[in-house]
Structure 1
Amino acid sequence: MSEAESSSPGREIWIEKYRPQTLDDVYGQEDIVDRLESYIAQHDLPHLLFAGPAGIGKTTCATAIAREVYGDDWRGNFLELNASDERGIDVVRDRIKNFARASFGGHDYRIIFLDEADSLTSDAQSALRRTMEQFSDNTRFILSCNYSSKIIDPIQSRCAVFRFSPLSDDAVAGQIRKIANREGIEMTDEGLDALVYAADGDMRRAINSLQAAATTGDVVDEEAVYMITSTARPEEIESMVTAAIDGDFARARSTLDTLLTETGMAGGDIIDQLHRGAWDFGLSQRETVRLMERIGEADYRITEGANEQVQLEALLASLALDE
């Protein structure tokens, strides 16, 4: 790699530059990759349903399957649609059917990849079910969603369901080290730990954060990562909670205000970090259970549109008031 390439972290989008091209390159989903490779080796690919949170390899696995099945011809035999943009029944009836009907040579079937399929309306899913039946001889569907419960049962029963889990810290750290080495980026151990913590199992977020942090200075360290990702240090979250439980509401509220106004965190992000760290704060089991109950209530209210700061202050106040 040339010096110009390694010194210009903003020239390319790294999540695309380092997107795995084959199933063997996919990090952290070994069991799923083994099953998918078995389907391909036996030339017996069923309809597939990939379910799981963002940034863990669902889309990457779908395109890698197409590359391995079709080789250089994969783009002509692989149709990718995003259901969140194209939600209506007309898309299912028109675009998918037209692609499924089109003639092709040299392959037994074509692949249609429907990303964010849980955004499809109920009518569109019913139309999709009928299309899957009609073109089962020459078309395979890969559906991707965050919540499989939003996919109607008739579709789920026609698919082999793969539930992707958030990536392990080791898998995220391994890929981040590899990219940092290839880009010639100096990174501290604390910086790597911060990237892994901020990513929370999301490889896409980890790589984006690394690229952003690499533009801020010569070294990717803990301070740069937390600043770029607008993430609170775990000790800050713990200090805020323990201050509230100890009855020092003023100190807890001051920490919260700093996170919201100076760090620039959203209320939902603070809720997520509270939830992730609840069992690591060194609280008694009773105190942790109380905290979890308050987190659940605040999360619901914020999701429904309530004022974030008011709800988070109310959470801290309830912890301070409880004996």
Structure 2
Amino acid sequence: MSEGDEQTAATATGREIWIEKYRPQTLDDIHGQSEIVERLQSYIAQDDVPHLLFSGPAGIGKTTAATAIAREIYGEDNWRGNFLELNASDQRGIDVVRDRIKGFARSSFGGDFRIVFLDEADSLTDDAQSALRRTMEQFSDNTRFILSCNYSSKIIDPIQSRCAVFRFSPLSDEAVGGMVREIAAAEDIEVTDEGIDALVYAADGDMRRAINSLQAAATTGDVVDEEAVYAITATARPEEIESMVTDALNGDFARARSTLDTLLTETGMAGGDVIDQLHRSVWEFELSEREAVRLMERIGEADYRIAEGANEQVQLESLLAALSLDE
């Protein structure tokens, strides 16, 4: 079966992945990163693209921006031959830097330069980063490097100083909601306003998560509503989190613990997810400043202990108990 036939079959059976189907093809199509897009377009227009370092959380457009740059420089027909993508989390050793990248950088394929895109570059070992630094110097005449990472602090300073650094921020609710509405319209899916709000809340600035959640929720029924979204994403409703915290602060530990048990066992949330939602929601609760500070302190302590391997349910119950006992 040819590639085209496979794509047609995938579409017909509903197996096409929407995050790839609706991945922006040009910089203009990228949602929510207008300032970064403007600067990147300026580099391309002036034919003066430096080494680039993209940092920020997952699902906000770093990989999409890298491929869009290649498409705009080389054109739709030629960009793949001039673009080498490596995932550093899978290929972390110094040999990858020395062999694959050097081999690609040495070869010529027309044009002024080729692009090496190194995803999750913060997973590279220090030795591999040192080798990469030297490679960036050696082939700077005919190769541009685009590095993507979650934490720029894990990239050694000699590499950072050789790159134009772009810090991608989590996408705004408006950007995520707008993209979700566009996809829903294109796929002829009925989505309620409450469903859109739930998708935006569950995504927390991650476009990829929002699109995946929409596709998953669309398979559960004719209408994507709030209930379908929270069920498919294993996300607690904001009011459930607020109710649990309020009960604990009011001294009703048993009721707060019951809500927590429901979230962990029936909703299927992980302890870390509960912590994340608590942290996101602290300042949205109608709490006094003193209560908010108490809650933040307890969240930080529970988060650290869970990260160190402690039992999630025990730590979360301990958090609620401490809130119930504090005066």
Cα-to-partner distance string for 1:4-60 (whole Å, 9 max, x where unaligned) = 99x978331000000000000000000000000000000000000000000000000
Q: 1:92 aligns with which of 84, 94, 97?
A: 97
Aligned partners of 1:133 and 1:23: how far apart in 2?
27
Structure 1 residue 104 displacement after superposition: 1.9
Aligned partners of 1:10 and 1:58: how far apart in 2?
27
Structure 1 residue 103 displacement after superposition: 2.1
Aligned partners of 1:200 and 1:62: how far apart in 2?
23
Partner of 1:101 in structure 2? 106
Partner of 1:42 in structure 2? 46
Structure 1 runs of 4+ aligned residues shifted over 4 Å read: none
Aligned partners of 1:131 and 1:15: how far apart in 2?
33
Alignment of 1:1-323 (within 5 A): 10-71=14-75, 72-105=77-110, 107-323=111-327
Aligned partners of 2:258 and 2:52: how far apart in 1?
49
The answer for unaligned runs of 5 or more in structure 1 is: none
The answer for unaligned runs of 5 or more in structure 2 is: 1-7
Counterpart code for 1:45: V
Counterpart code for 1:171: A
Retained in 2: the 8 A contact 1:231–1:263? Answer: yes
**TM-score (normalised: structure 2):** 0.96
Structure 1 residue 304 displacement after superposition: 1.1
Retained in 2: the 8 A contact 1:237–1:274? Answer: yes
Cα-to-partner distance string for 1:224-261 (whole Å, 9 max, x where unaligned) = 00000000000000000000000000000000000000
Aligned partners of 2:225 and 2:133: how far apart in 1?
50
What secondary structure is seen at the aligned counterpart in 1 of 2:130? helix
Relative contact order higher in (CA < 8 Å, ≥ 6 apart): 1
Cα-to-partner distance string for 1:92-122 (whole Å, 9 max, x where unaligned) = 00000000001222x1100000000000000
Aligned partners of 1:289 and 1:60: how far apart in 2?
38
Aligned partners of 2:302 and 2:132: how far apart in 1?
38
Aligned partners of 2:153 and 2:297: how far apart in 1?
24
